[in-house]
Amino acid sequence: MRRLSGYPDLKSTKAKLHELMELFSPEDRLLILIKPDPDSIASNLALRTLLLKSIKYATTGYVGEITRQENIALVKLLSIPMQRIEEIDFTEFNRTAILDGQPPHFNLLGDHHFDVIIDHHPITKGYSASFQDIRPSYGSTSTIMTEYLNAAGIKPSTRLSTALLYGIKTDTNNFERDTRPEDVWAFRYLFPRANKNILHKVELSELSPEILNYFKMAFDRMKILKDKIFVHMGEIDNPDVCVQLADFLMRVNNISWTIISSVVDDNLVIVLRSDGYRKNAGKMASKLFGDLGSAGGHRSSARAEIPLSNLKKRVRGLTEETIEKWITRRIKGYRTH
């Protein structure tokens, strides 16, 4: 019988689940690595649930800081255990998993072998892993993890359902970008089980007074280049600001692209958004910035990170003004069709 459109392929998911579970034994000690956003936080909670009775224990280590107010609220309201990667002794673990990302996103390459990688971002190279499930066409890793739970016959708790639902909502931008029917199925599956009051509280936590100051700065610096809005924020502490600005400015009438850049910890970070109609933000990021650092993404959302040491070859002085002019020239010279 032909599979109903939008319903996950249960047979294929069960096969992947079996492959995943076969990796582990009761004495395993698993370290889960994430970059803390709603999708990765929720996916981490789902993997821990799947492996609860199969391994000795699991610990989640996050890279960077949890700075966005909604992420802080999500972790606090749902009591999700995580530790900063700097606080973790890697020798305690014999297994490693990466969720909602791949080793190059963490600058983890070389000879290190990974046991599990589950992700929805475009596939990268340069590493090895015993188990990989990477689905670039999916809107979120939370959708993949929901399929695993369903295949395992595990009904997610209210806490887990709430986290996964929010992970899907944020990474698909409420189904406005990079969404498959499977994402809609997962949302509908989780919705009756989620705590709507907690979701509402998390969503109301998105803006802080500090973020509003960045918005004011962005409005003052904003450049409109035909159907694009470009803002160079200069040196800032929190690159998540660029994500929030890029998403917000896509609401401006007749704007098809937003490009927000900043300097964070000796890296130039560039966040791109597009309306996805005959446009591809991932290709734009790769074309404009891939020769100097990591760059890529989906049709409607992408990111580039360039070490300033690489940028010195192209930009004299590396001041806010010279970096802004360099990005502006590249944007103006890029053909979007």
Helix 141-151 × helix 10-21 angle, to 10°:
90
Q: List the CATH number of the domain containing 158.
A: 3.90.1640.10
Residues 29 and 104 in one domain: yes
Residues 290 and 246 in one domain: yes
Contacts of 289-295 with C-beta under 8 Å, sequence gap 24+, read 289/330, 293/267, 293/268, 294/104, 294/105, 295/270
Q: Is 118 helix (H, G, I), strand (E, B) or coil?
A: strand
C-beta separation of 71 from 42 below 8 A: no
Residues 22 and 169 in one domain: yes
Q: List the CATH number of the domain containing 326.
A: 3.10.310.30
Residues 236 and 298 in one domain: yes
Q: Is 45 helix (H, G, I), strand (E, B) or coil?
A: helix
Residues 6+ apart with CB under 8 A from 78: 45, 159, 162, 163, 198
Structural domain includes residue 2 = no
C-beta separation of 139 from 168 below 8 A: yes
Residues 261 and 184 in one domain: no
* Amino acid at position 152, single letter: A
Per-residue pLDDT at 237:
82
Structural domain includes residue 1 = no
Q: Tell me the C-alpha distance between 302 and 295, whole Å.
A: 8
Residue range(s) defining the domain that contains residue 319: 209-333
Residues 6+ apart with CB under 8 A from 100: 34, 35, 37, 39, 40, 43, 118, 119, 120, 121, 141
Structural domain includes residue 3 = no
Residues 81 and 215 in one domain: no
Structural domain includes residue 4 = no
Residues 152 and 171 in one domain: yes
Concatenate the DSSP letters of all residues of 120-138 into one string: -SPP--S-EEEEEEE-TTS
Burial class (CB in 10 A: 0-12, 13-18, 19+), 36: buried
Per-residue pLDDT at 6:
63
Cα separation of the two ends of the chain? 41
Residues 226 and 277 in one domain: yes
Residues 113 and 45 in one domain: yes
Boundary-marking domain end, from 203, 238, 272:
203
Q: Tell me the C-alpha distance between 333 and 251, whole Å.
A: 24
Q: What value, to the nearest 5°, has the Cα angle with vertex 259 and ends 256 and 265?
A: 165
C-beta separation of 300 from 177 below 8 A: yes
Boundary-marking domain end, from 203, 221, 241:
203
Helix (H) or strand (E) holding 238: none
Q: Tell me the C-alpha distance between 330 and 337, whole Å.
A: 15
Per-residue pLDDT at 1:
33
User: SS3 helix, strand, coil % of the chain, rounded to 5?
Assistant: 40, 20, 35
Q: Which tokens go with 132?
A: 């990989």
* Domains held by the chain: number: 2
The whole-number mean pLDDT for each consecutive block of 10 residues of the chain, a chain of 337 residues, reads 60 94 97 95 97 96 87 93 92 95 74 89 87 95 97 96 96 84 95 94 79 91 94 89 91 93 93 86 92 87 91 88 94 76
Residues 69 and 147 in one domain: yes
- In sign, the C-alpha dihedral spanning 88, 30, 98, 195 is negative
Residues 42 and 115 in one domain: yes
Residues 190 and 307 in one domain: no
Can you give the length of the chain in residues?
337
C-beta separation of 146 from 194 below 8 A: no
Per-residue pLDDT at 4:
44
Boundary-marking domain end, from 203, 223, 242:
203
